[in-house]
Structure 1
């Protein structure tokens, strides 16, 4: 049914999709990861001269073009940009290029299907680099992993930096990297203060949305705990058994939430499977404690937002989350 009420497993599944929001970078990590990502994107930026390189676009032939000569020209231009991209990547295999050149001299030619496969792979590498910062060799390694292993893969760029990059529009991304370059040319810290300030503003909305999903789980747990034991949903016992709540370290931090249901909700959101297909999970204390601290701040911000004059008029969850983020 389209409007069926989500189950607790649905709520956990949704929260786990956004748990990356709790892997929060420090100011130093923001600067370091931006610098590394900026450096890794150079093969894309080098495809175009001057300011156009900041848009990180790859030439794509017009699929509606009908003039044979123009189709041929666009095809050649696409080939040239993709070859240039491969030449500029740090892990370019020069020995393999020489081997292919020697084979060409001997009369060996690729079939049209092989050429198209190489073209698609180069384009996928370029698009992937723009998305997650993986070089082609790193991407081959990542693609060889199982789904379980991919979930534990350590990307060379921080999760928050990748999430922030995905959030940027084409124009904002271009402006972001241009500002960064101009800061470098001035010889100082490349807009470090502005960079951290912008990322922190973006992060607030991101974290509030994730905390709201954790709160849904905590509310469900509280509602179940208020019932007589014989009327509680059996999934409550499953949560307590499966998600390693007891593995989370105790803390006296004043910013960490004291709400026990939130601790269990965070454990369910952040714990990792011990093996593919296993129901057993192990805690991720660092991410979990970051989530609990974020949730503690969320509770305070929500309390302040609810006391504001415009809370009652902010009817949708999205508008209320935006209001909460203003008090975070």
Structure 2
């Protein structure tokens, strides 16, 4: 009896061990399966996150279609457009990110017909229209402000806070400085036929390219007076800056060069040969490049941009874009450059990682200035 009992007891214990082992294996299997599921879920989440990380950002690019008398508000990469009808010809524009306003210079629609290379050189005033600078809200596309300025306004530039607006008046060799908070307008004399203008990164000065006097005016925005004038070269058409504040640039439309000025010393330090008929330039925010749009003339249009290293001040690539490359702007993330091709009514999009054109967008007639929100 004792032997039998012990035998059965041993069998029971053995059976229980097998059952417990089986349960353990099942639980371990369930744990492993759960962990695997967790890894799959985690992996799926990470995968989704990666997908979300590479989703293209929306860029809002605004183009002045001068002879259409419109602004094109382009969403990229969707390439959808909304159109703002203007009350005259838009020569140039600039978007202020803080206020989400786009400022545009307006000339009477039938005035200043004497044009050369895409820029009017007449000094007559059209009595039938008003020359002004106008602000449009990028959210509503409605006009919200306007100011009468001097004869034949060309370019407009704005301080980062959106309060000070500067307009070059090519027809009377002046600039207009507008203080929006006080509504005070100040006129300052500069060089002959002031055209392009940009405000320095420290927000203290505005640098103006004077096309007919072959120099660049520097105006103190606090003193509201010209404090220096630098000889740069023939056909000084537009200015620009490296975003670290080290260099100022001037496109020399006649000399086919980019002038480089040391901001600290206010001295010309370099002239770089670029394509034919350069107009606007823009530096990338990561301080890799300054890119020059080479327009040429309507009779002999250029179709390139010159990509220049900010480290060496040497051209790293000449890239073909559209006919009459004129205006240029670079996105804040330094990913894309957008260029207006004046003589074929398009905008080129250039990837700054590959240095290749990735898209060409149809816009209105005679696209001139360009800016980005």
Q: Shorter-chain TM-score: what band?
A: under 0.3
TM-score under structure 1 length normalisation: 0.18
Task: Indicate the structure (1 or 2) with the bigger Cα radius of gyration.
Answer: 2
Q: Which has the higher strand share?
A: 2
Bigger RCO of structures 1 and 2 (CA < 8 A, at least 6 apart): 1
TM-score under structure 2 length normalisation: 0.16
Q: Which has the higher helix share?
A: 1
